[in-house]
């Protein structure tokens, strides 16, 4: 759909939702988009959402389950961990299963619980690892729809031009409105191709494991159509300097092996392993 038409349709949907006074998932999504104060950022995000399948397609789905393979690259060789991620974006709930380690992480809003062999643990290393897992699920798995998450500020961050000025990326900065959520160095910059309105990269500096504030460029490739939406199924984490220039080869690779929308998931799934 052309951007101008997309904006017109979105505007009509907002008016309809307000008139009806309902609180459907589409109403919630439109309300969050309407709350973005930066007009240029809102326009760029809207174009990206429609290029990735549209707002109403995202609102069609209640949750998203993914089977993923996380690979750590090191001089000693690669090590791959299989995980199952379950995301309920409408109620801010996440479940992460690591079957080989017999651990489950449950996050509802800011509350995080970690279970090992069915028993809750307060082990700091396990909780730090789980916090990182949960953030990847919330912010990278549903990109760019994660930019509509409640509690985020979205701002225009200028453009980046590629070699020979042949390509231009529009940049959006995502920060938290909740005091204390993110540290001083915590940042997320989403780079969107101007000609296609598709996400190419996400530049992050996150305090959670395994990143620990190391700047990374997440290259998002191999987009596939799932549930009427375009989502990336291969992410490469490349270390960078402060300017965004690569300083080495990829440190981590995430491959999304399977995606399932609207998985059967009761409230108990997010309450206990």
Residue 16 above 80 pLDDT?
A: no
What does the alpha-carbon distance between residue 209 and residue 96 come to, in Å, rounded to a whole number? 15
In terms of Cβ atoms closer than 10 Å to its own Cβ (0-12, 13-18, 19+), residue 254 is buried
What 9-16 contacts at long range (C-beta under 8 Å, 24+ apart), as own/partner pairs, is 10/46, 10/50, 10/55, 13/55, 13/56
Domain-by-domain residue ranges, the chain? 3-59, 64-270
pLDDT in tens, 25-43: 999 999 999 999 999 999 9
What does the alpha-carbon distance between residue 2 and residue 128 come to, in Å, rounded to a whole number? 43
Peptide bond into 62 cis (omega under 30): no
pLDDT in tens, 188-216: 999 999 999 999 999 999 999 999 999 99
Residue 6 above 70 pLDDT?
A: no
- pTM for this predicted structure: 0.89
Check if the beta carbon of residue 12 is closer than 8 Å to that of residue 6. no
Q: How far is CA 73 from the centre of its chain?
A: 22
Give percent of the chain with pLDDT exceeding 70. Answer: 89
Looking at residue 119, its pLDDT comes to 97
Least confident range from 3-12, 61-70, 154-163, 224-233: namely: 3-12
Q: How far is CA 196 from the centre of its chain?
A: 19
Specify whether the backbone of 85 is left (phi greater than 0), alpha (psi in -120 to 50) or beta. Answer: beta
Specify whether the backbone of 165 is left (phi greater than 0), alpha (psi in -120 to 50) or beta. Answer: left
Q: Which residue has the tokens 């509802």?
A: 108
Give percent of the chain with pLDDT exceeding 90. Answer: 81
Query: CATH classification of 64-270 is 2.50.20.10, yes or no?
Result: yes
pLDDT in tens, 105-117: 999 999 999 999 9
In terms of Cβ atoms closer than 10 Å to its own Cβ (0-12, 13-18, 19+), residue 9 is middle
């Amino acid at each position: 759909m052309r951007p101008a038409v997309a904006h017109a349709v979105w505007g009509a949907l907002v008016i309809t939702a307000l008139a009806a006074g309902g609180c459907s998932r589409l109403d919630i999504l439109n309300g969050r988009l309407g709350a973005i104060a930066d007009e240029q950022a809102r326009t760029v995000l809207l174009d990206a959402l429609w290029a990735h399948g549209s707002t109403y397609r995202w609102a069609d789905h209640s949750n998203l389950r993914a089977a993923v393979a996380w690979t750590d690259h090191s001089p000693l060789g690669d090590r791959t961990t299989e995980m199952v991620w379950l995301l309920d974006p409408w109620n801010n709930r996440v479940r992460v299963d690591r079957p080989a380690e017999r651990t489950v992480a449950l996050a509802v809003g800011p509350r995080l619980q970690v279970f090992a062999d069915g028993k809750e643990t307060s082990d700091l290393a396990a909780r730090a690892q789980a916090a990182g897992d949960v953030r990847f699920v919330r912010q990278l798995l549903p990109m760019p729809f994660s930019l509509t998450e409640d509690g985020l500020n979205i701002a225009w961050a200028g453009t980046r031009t590629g070699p020979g000025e042949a390509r231009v990326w529009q940049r959006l900065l995502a920060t938290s409105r909740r005091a204390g959520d993110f540290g001083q160095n915590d940042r997320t910059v989403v780079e969107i191709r101007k000609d296609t309105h598709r996400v190419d990269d996400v530049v992050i500096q996150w305090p959670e494991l395994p990143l620990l504030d190391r700047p990374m460029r997440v290259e998002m490739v191999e987009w596939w159509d799932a549930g009427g939406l375009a989502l990336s199924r291969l992410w490469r984490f490349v270390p960078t300097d402060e300017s965004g220039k690569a300083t080495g080869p990829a440190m981590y690779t995430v491959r999304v092996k399977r995606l399932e929308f609207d998985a059967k998931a009761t409230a108990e799934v997010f309450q206990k392993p």
